[in-house]
Amino acid sequence: MLCDNFYIQNIFFTFSLQFDSTPLCALPKESRLCITLIGLKYPQNNNQDPTNKITRTLGGATIQLFSQRSHLVQGNQLVPLQMGVKADHLMPSCKTLLSDSVLLQVNLPDFDKTIFFPAPNVKKTSDKRPFDALHPEIQDTVLNVLEKESSSV
């Protein structure tokens, strides 16, 4: 990372997030944690006036919260930071580590047990019944819909 002609070897930043109002069981299987790092630069003669700052996107990373096997990702994660772009919640998260990759370490809670996204309950299809077994009002509604659909074609 280049900052005012100095190469910064390591940046140590600690920030903690807690989502107390969102239970884990309410998260969809496709949930991701998107992190965008933004640098702030103040002009030298400005004495860090908050109204006159320059913002620059340093990079972004996206972490899939559930693995391919539907297990919740836990513990320390090293995530490649895509430089110069914000985290994209629609694109696949990048897991490719190159020799010159900038890494972001994210410490997710460790629950000391495997937490998985449950498989959907698949119900067997209902038994087929004759049309005459429907209530007469429902029969009329179905016939009206079929008549409207066939006349519009």
Residue 148 placed within a domain: no
Residue 34 placed within a domain: yes
Residue 151 placed within a domain: no
Q: State the total domains in the chain.
A: 1
Residue 130 placed within a domain: no
CA distances from 6 to 1, 3, 42, 107 (A): 8, 5, 16, 28
The enclosing domain of 14 has a CATH number of: 2.60.40
This prediction's pTM: 0.62
Look up the domain containing 103 and give its range. 2-108
Q: For residue range 34-93, list pLDDT tens digits in order.
A: 999 888 777 777 566 667 778 888 888 898 888 888 899 999 988 888 888 888 888 766
The SS3 assignment for 26 reads helix
Residue 6 placed within a domain: yes
Its sign, for the CA torsion 116, 81, 14, 105, is positive
pLDDT at res. 141: 92
53 contacts: CB under 8 Å, gap ≥ 6: 40, 41, 42
